[in-house]
């Protein structure tokens, strides 16, 4: 850290502040923003983990733009902050140097009206051009929803592939299955896909704006509805941000319980994903078996917490549900049955040559592509991006001896194997945590204090980040939500290249990204 | 193959009989109603208009081997042309209005609209957002609402039965 501090504080940063043990802020002048970010990107080998703007015109007549990197060696988040004057709302784009900033810049542009100078693609992401009139920026503090009813609208321009024999296959937004909406446009020459453009935003609900002005408990309830299948991961990231800002020390017992619930969420989703992959190649028995595993875990969740999706479990300072002696033995008992079903599922999948043929070498996402796009989490690990927040943060995982799942090849098989490995690891972790639950209370009662900071959790898809700014009156001033799906979807559009359209559902399911978490 | 068969036999039948308060099995009655009224199958097209994904997860769960909605004659279809009813979740994002209306228009008459989840009823936790055109009843004639956040599979099945029963 010392070395980095010297390089950047001397040459670039105007101010370097280690606000929390795991989070440092570096304030730079606008002209140095790009160089500082690029330097950190090269030094830390970290993609842009999140990037967002804040409207601070009421305080000091500027906007601010923040770009976050992860320092794995120091176990620290490094946030680079710069001001953007309100009179000339524009900042220097990072996209050409750090591609993982690309989508964030587009998001900042459509939500705040800050122009990323030099970004070659400034099409809207969530506020569709056909629906939303130009010149209305919802995350600005002076935005009034009533005004945005009328105004000139535009049309989204798909990138076109032209040439003899090239044709387009549009899919969506309403898909064949029971799934969220999104538009996929394939350009195909003969059988192989030569381009896939993914247009999302169909389930945009304006969550970040809704967060503003809410009290912490209300906002917590909303965070559980950002991405329904990762409600615990999202609410965990949210409460951890609030706890960090307020200096609340979460009791060890609550930390252990949170770890258990987080792994339960991972397990039911991995079971659903494994079943989905089998279903997408028409292999119905393992799909049904996986559905049974998922249902068993959901029923277990309900017995432990009264909610199948673990809603209402996280509260600021700890958890609302304890696992007592009887619940612990119930949990152990149920895990035995779940493990038995899981091992059978794994055997069936791995012993089917035709299934393995389908998944092997399908949907390659190469490491370099994943790194450039900033694909992290489950999909990133399958392509060799070694980022798992449980490994770097959270002292609770150290005594348990956490093993990170890593795939190298980046194909559907790698993602399948990572999921199988993680399911087993989750079983092991839950058993460890249940056996080693610390005694004591499972909630700490302390007051919320104003301030800002980053909360994070390794949900089943990957790192979920909540950057919170709590105002003087204890309500939320700004909340930036980053789901791993946000950059991940791009990875899918590269992974399918060269494959055929019938392999697309399989590739899609192997990544298993969230529409709702992306669209917010 | 033989392993699958063995596993299948070892696992046995998991589907639960879904009990009704007044004696008879809920599923059996649903089966009879659908056979009579819809010529053996009631087909649903599901559309997510802006949900978080939990409602979808529960609808999928209602089709798993334990609840097995399909055994009573309720099918989910890919095409609106084959659908008797549309099952809508979510608070209706502005981006989905056109797609939702087109899906509805593509369905043959007679058709029903069923909303599922609190968001679809009154926008739920997303009430007051700048980007919602919901609730669904503003855009489509809603015949049935299944409450919950998300409703559990057994609730989904119960509400469907009550609804289909009164259609007679």
Domain boundaries, given as residue ranges, for chain A: 2-149, 207-519
Question: Given B63, B96, B152, which is nearest A181 (Cβ)?
Answer: B96
User: How would you classify the pairing of strands A76-85 and A23-28?
Assistant: parallel
Nearest to A228 by CA among B138, B89, B13: B89
CA angle B25, B30, B35 (to 5 degrees): 130
Interface of A with B in 26-85 (CB under 8 A): none
How far is the alpha carbon of B17 from chain A, nearest alpha carbon, in Å?
Answer: 16
Which secondary-structure segment (H or E) carries A117? strand A115-117
Residues of chain B found within 8 Å of residue A298, distances taken between Cβ atoms? 61
Eight-state DSSP code of residue A502: G
A223: helix, coil or strand? helix
Query: Residues A85-121: pLDDT tens digits?
Result: 888 888 888 888 899 999 999 999 989 989 888 888 8
From A10's Cα to the closest Cα of chain B, the distance in A is 44
Residue with tokens 């070498």: A361
Q: Is-contact B113 B104, C-beta < 8 A?
A: yes
**How confident is the model over B13-35, as pLDDT tens digits?**
777 776 654 445 666 777 777 78
**Domains of chain B with bracketed CATH:** 24-166 (3.40.50.12280)
Distance from CA of A315 to the nearest CA of B (A): 17
Residue A435 pLDDT level (bands cut at 50, 70, 90): confident
Tell me the pLDDT tens digit for each residue of A299-357.
999 988 889 999 989 988 888 888 888 888 888 899 999 999 899 899 888 888 888 88
Partners of residue A416 on adjacent β-strands: none
Residue A350, chain B, CB below 8 Å: the answer is no
What DSSP line would sit under A298-334, residue for residue?
HHHHHHHHS-TT-TT-EETTEES----HHHHHHHHHH
Q: Which of B52, B61, B130 sits opposite A145 (nearest CB)?
A: B130
pLDDT of residue A86: 87
> pLDDT band for position A147 (50/70/90)?
low
- Name beta bridge partners: A195: A187
Q: Measured between CB atoms, does A173 come within 8 Å of chain B?
A: yes
pLDDT given for residue B103 in this prediction:
92
ipTM of the complex as predicted: 0.88
A207-519 fold: Cytochrome-c3 Hydrogenase; chain B (1.10.645)
Q: Which residue of A has its CA nearest to B87?
A: A178
Using pLDDT thresholds of 50, 70 and 90, give the confidence band for residue A149. low
- Alpha-helix runs per DSSP H in B23-152: 26-38, 54-62, 97-105, 118-122
Q: Is the pLDDT of residue B55 over 70?
A: yes
Task: Compute CA A324 distance to the chain's CA centroid, rounded to the nearest angstrom.
Answer: 32
Q: How confident is the model at residue A293 (pLDDT cuts 50, 70, 90)?
A: very high
Q: Return the pLDDT at A460.
A: 92
Percent of chain A with pLDDT over 90: 30
Binned at pLDDT 50, 70 and 90, residue A5 comes out as low
CA distances from A155 to A57, A127, A204, A399, B69 (A): 31, 12, 18, 55, 42
Over residues A45-100, the pLDDT tens digits come to 889 999 999 988 888 889 999 999 988 888 889 999 998 888 888 888 888 889 99
Other beta carbons within 10 Å of B157: 22
Q: Is the pLDDT of residue A388 over 90?
A: no
Q: Per residue in B114-131, pLDDT tens? A: 999 888 888 888 888 888
Lowest mean pLDDT among A84-93, B1-10, B22-31, B91-100: B22-31
Distance from CA of A209 to the nearest CA of B (A): 8
- Inter-chain CB proximity A227 and B76 less than 8 Å: no
| A2-149 CATH choice from 3.30.460.80, 3.10.20.90, 3.30.200.20, 2.40.110.20 | 3.30.460.80
Strand, helix or coil at A36? Answer: helix
Query: Does B7 lie at the interface with A, CB-CB under 8 angstroms?
Result: yes
Contacts of B52 (CB under 8 A, 6+ apart): A225, A226, A227, A228, A231, A516, B119
**A224-264 pLDDT, tens digit each:** 989 988 999 999 999 999 999 988 888 888 888 999 999 99
Within 8 A of A348 by CB-CB distance, chain B residues are 3-4, 7
Q: Closest chain A residue to B132 measured between Cα atoms?
A: A205
- pLDDT of the residue at A294: 92
């Amino acid at each position: 850290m010392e070395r980095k501090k010297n390089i950047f504080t001397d040459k670039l940063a105007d101010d370097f502040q280690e606000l929390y043990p795991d989070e440092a802020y570096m304030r730079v002048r606008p002209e140095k923003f790009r160089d500082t970010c690029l330097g950190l990107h090269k030094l830390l080998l970290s993609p842009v983990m999140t990037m967002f703007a804040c409207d601070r015109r009421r305080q000091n007549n500027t906007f601010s733009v923040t770009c976050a990197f992860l320092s794995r060696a120091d176990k620290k988040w490094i946030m680079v902050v710069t001001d953007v004057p309100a009179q000339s709302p524009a900042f220097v784009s990072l996209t050409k140097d750090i591609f993982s900033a690309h989508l964030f810049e587009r998001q900042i542009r459509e939500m705040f009206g800050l122009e990323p100078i030099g970004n070659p693609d400034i099409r809207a992401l969530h506020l569709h051009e056909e629906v939303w009139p130009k010149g209305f920026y919802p995350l600005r503090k002076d935005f009034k929803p009533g005004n945005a009813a009328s105004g000139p609208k535009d049309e989204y321009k798909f990138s076109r592939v032209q040439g003899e024999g090239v044709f387009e296959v549009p899919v969506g937004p309403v898909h064949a299955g029971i799934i969220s909406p999104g538009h996929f446009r394939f350009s195909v020459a003969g059988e192989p896909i030569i381009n896939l453009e993914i247009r999302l935003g169909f389930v945009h609900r304006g969550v970040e704006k809704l967060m503003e002005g809410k009290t912490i408990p209300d906002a917590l309830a909303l965070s559980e509805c950002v991405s329904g299948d990762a409600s615990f991961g999202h609410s965990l990231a949210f409460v951890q941000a609030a706890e960090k800002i307020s200096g609340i020390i979460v009791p060890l017992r609550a930390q252990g319980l949170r770890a258990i619930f987080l792994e339960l969420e991972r397990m039911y989703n991995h079971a659903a994903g494994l079943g989905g992959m089998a279903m997408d190649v028409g292999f119905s028995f393992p799909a049904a078996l996986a559905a049974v595993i998922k249902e068993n875990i959901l029923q277990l969740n309900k017995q432990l917490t009264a909610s199948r999706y673990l809603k209402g479990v996280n509260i600021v300072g700890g958890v609302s549900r304890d696992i007592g002696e009887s619940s612990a033995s119930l949990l152990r008992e149920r895990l035995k049955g779940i493990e038995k079903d899981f091992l059978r599922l794994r055997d069936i999948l791995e012993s089917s040559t035709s299934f393995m043929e389908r998944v092997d070498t399908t949907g390659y996402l190469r490491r370099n592509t994943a790194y450039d796009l900033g694909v992290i989490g489950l999909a990133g690990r399958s392509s060799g991006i070694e980022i798992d927040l449980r490994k770097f943060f959270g002292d609770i995982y150290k005594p348990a001896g956490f093993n990170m799942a890593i795939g190298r090849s980046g194909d559907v098989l790698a993602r399948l194997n990572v999921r199988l490995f993680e399911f087993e690891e989750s079983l092991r972790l839950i058993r460890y945590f249940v056996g080693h639950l610390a005694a004591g209370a499972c909630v700490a009662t302390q007051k919320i204090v104003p301030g800002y900071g980053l909360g994070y959790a390794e949900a089943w898809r990957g790192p979920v980040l909540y950057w919170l700014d709590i105002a003087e009156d204890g309500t939320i001033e700004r909340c930036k939500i980053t789901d791993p799906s946000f950059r991940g979807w791009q990875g899918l559009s590269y992974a399918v290249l060269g494959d055929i359209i019938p392999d697309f559902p399989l590739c899609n399911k192997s990544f298993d990204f969230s529409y709702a978490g992306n669209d917010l | 193959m033989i392993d699958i068969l063995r596993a299948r036999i070892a696992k046995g039948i998991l589907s639960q009989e879904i009990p009704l308060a007044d004696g008879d099995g809920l599923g059996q009655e649903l089966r009879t109603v659908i056979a009579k009224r819809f010529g053996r199958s009631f087909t649903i097209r599901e559309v997510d208009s802006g949900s978080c994904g939990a409602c979808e997860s529960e609808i999928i769960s209602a089709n798993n081997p334990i609840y097995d909605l399909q055994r009573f004659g309720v099918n989910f279809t890919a095409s609106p042309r084959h659908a008797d009813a549309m099952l809508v979740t979510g608070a209706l994002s502005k981006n989905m209005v056109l797609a939702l209306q087109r899906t509805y228009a593509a369905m043959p008459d007679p058709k029903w609209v069923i909303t599922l989840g609190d968001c679809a009823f009154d926008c739920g936790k997303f009430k007051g957002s700048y980007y919602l055109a919901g609730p669904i009843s503003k855009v489509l004639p809603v015949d049935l609402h299944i409450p919950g956040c998300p409703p559990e599979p057994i609730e989904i099945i119960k509400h469907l039965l009550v609804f289909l029963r009164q259609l007679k």
